[in-house]
A and B are shown apart, each in its own frame.
Chain A
Amino acid sequence: MPSPQLVDAVLAHGENRPERVALVSHRRTVTYRELADTVRTFRHRLGRLGPVAGNTVCVPAHKSPETLALMLAAFREGLVVLAPSPDLGGAARDRLCRQARASHLLVVTDNGVISAEPVAQDAADASRFGTPDPGITRLLLTTSGSTGTPKIVPIPLDGFAAFADWAARDFGLTADDTSLSYAPLNFDLALLDVWTFLREGARVVLVDQDRAADGAHLRHLVAAHTVTFVQGVPLLHRLLTGDGTAFPTVRQVVTTGEALGPDLLRPLAAAFPGARFHNVFGCTETNDSFIHPFSPATCEGRLPIGRPVEGVRAELLTPEGKRLSGPGMGELLVTTPFQTSGYLESSLNAKAFTEIEGHPYYRTGDLVTRGTDGLLYLEGRADWQVKIRGVRTNLLEVETVIASHPDVTEAVVVALPDEQAGVRLHAQVVRRPTSSLTGLGLRAHAGRHLPRHAIPSSVRVTEAPLPRTSTGKPDRGLIKADRLKESA
């Protein structure tokens, strides 16, 4: 997205492979000729709508061919695109616009009509924020808001180019590939499954957000469009493997975003008999940073996040701030050739980034174990440590133990405020349909594997699936809020 060179590549595909399909959306199919024509048309229109080269514009990241063409046109016109989630509320979106000093809010209809609404500037809102430099970035993503206010993350031009080079090489991508784009367009995952694919002249099947939880629809898309590349959170893989269908055309499968349940390994092997599998770990700030090739037919237990991607360096820092050279656990610090030059809110950078031997490392806040073989394992968030009656407890560790009960398909553990204990733990658990597992049975299981303070104070066992966020992760915020409401 992030670059005029990407747009030039797309325009060249329009010349060289005009009839090849670039985009498949729920409404229609767009060839590279049509995409290139739309980009050219939109460039002319942008010139008359007000924004000038160097401006930042806000384009809510609707997953439509028109929005993609509008972003491409903006990149080429020298604009910086702030691409927030289309679901972000008006007030939050307007605040992001003012922080990034966006000149206009641009929206394009499915019929290709662009509207440009000027954004009122606010010096106070923008005061702590740098001005996006189109010489460095053309795309501003935001981190998801689950940890607080979204942070604006500029994606660097050279960082995207290096990333697309790596991804195309590592996954052996060619113009004959087809990706299933499952993640929202405002996620860093789209840098691979949308933008890198367009750069390569390949085909992108856009999953409509409204149908992202419809397993039958997703399976239809993969089969009907002979998808070769599937990237997504475990929920996507759960949905695709739900009915035992095999997809022999898929040759690369990427699992990412959260830990893959061991119960999904065999179904993955059966669903994608011709695929190579990769567990990938990264974040918006650094993009894909670690990769672990695995064989779901034979591997057991939890997957490591693996080893640093080519060009990536990782350090583990002990709580005392010492660098771990060998095996052990520590906070993960990472520097990648793809990473952001820093949050737009520059005051955040001193805490989030640190220099080691001349390289700018991002402090992930993730706790990671390095095994004797050098493989890295994610243990949880450093900030997921809670104190229960003064005892440090890792929520993910508790979750992992609960989820390891043979009758549990999924579990989430949240910390609720408690006057006496500081926090108390609440577990929401999905049991297998045929199981008669209860909260008491689960406590007995937890009691065998966890220190007593870490056994959840309350347990809700259901057969209904966990509530999910728009990106398919368990909605911990909602589970927490619901439980607080009930016990109030």
Chain B
Amino acid sequence: MTSTDIAAEIHEYIVATFLDGEDCADLTHDYDLIANGVIDSLGLVRMVSHIGRLYELPVDELDFGPADFRSIAAITAFIGANSRALAA
């Protein structure tokens, strides 16, 4: 799985989960999801659980904060650096 694939999957997940029914043509990879209220604290929990499951991240052992989920690019980088599935 390339980082492009991961970014596309995260994009799709965000649109389906947090932006139901909206025009998301301008959801760029650097759009600030936290500052603009797309992902709030509850959304963060859902996002962590989603990527933890799908990409086999050891979320309990990892040290992370909102900055790691600020944008699609940040989330993709976080997954790339920590995924067991990708490392395997």
Q: Is A421 part of the binding interface, using a Cβ–Cβ cutoff of 8 Å?
A: yes
Residue interface mask A107-147, B partner, CB < 8 A = 1:
00000000000000000000000000000000000000000
Number of interface residues of A (CB under 8 A): 22
Interface extent on B, as a size class?
Answer: 10 to 19
Is there an interface contact between A447 and B22, defined as CB atoms closer than 8 Å? no
Residue interface mask A442-453, B partner, CB < 8 A = 1:
011011000011
- Look across to chain A and name the residue whose beta carbon is closest to the beta carbon of B19: A439
Is there an interface contact between A456 and B24, defined as CB atoms closer than 8 Å? no
Q: How far is the CB of B20 from chain A (nearest CB, A)?
A: 7
> Bound state CA distance, A421 and B26, in angstroms?
27
Is there an interface contact between B21 and A486, defined as CB atoms closer than 8 Å? yes
Interface stretch of the complex, out of B32-40, B47-55, B73-81 = B32-40
Query: How many residue pairs between the two chains, A and B, have CB atoms under 8 Å in the bound complex?
Result: 56
Is there an interface contact between A487 and B35, defined as CB atoms closer than 8 Å? no
Is there an interface contact between B22 and A459, defined as CB atoms closer than 8 Å? yes
Q: Is B42 part of the binding interface, using a Cβ–Cβ cutoff of 8 Å?
A: yes
- Look across to chain B and name the residue whose beta carbon is closest to the beta carbon of A418: B42
Is there an interface contact between B37 and A446, defined as CB atoms closer than 8 Å? yes
Residues of chain B with a CB closer than 8 A to A460's CB:
21-22
Q: Is A226 part of the binding interface, using a Cβ–Cβ cutoff of 8 Å?
A: no
> Bound state CA distance, A455 and B37, in angstroms?
6
Is there an interface contact between A439 and B23, defined as CB atoms closer than 8 Å? yes
Q: Is B25 part of the binding interface, using a Cβ–Cβ cutoff of 8 Å?
A: yes
Is there an interface contact between B36 and A455, defined as CB atoms closer than 8 Å? yes
Is there an interface contact between B22 and A444, defined as CB atoms closer than 8 Å? no
Residues of chain A with a CB closer than 8 A to B37's CB:
443, 446-447, 452-453, 455-457
Q: Is A440 part of the binding interface, using a Cβ–Cβ cutoff of 8 Å?
A: yes
- Look across to chain A and name the residue whose beta carbon is closest to the beta carbon of B38: A443
Q: Is B31 part of the binding interface, using a Cβ–Cβ cutoff of 8 Å?
A: yes
Known A440-B26, A447-B35, A458-B20; further 11 A-B contacts with Cβ < 8 A: A420-B42, A439-B19, A439-B22, A439-B24, A440-B27, A443-B37, A447-B32, A455-B36, A457-B37, A458-B19, A460-B21
**3 A-B pairs closest in CB distance:** A455-B37, A443-B36, A447-B36
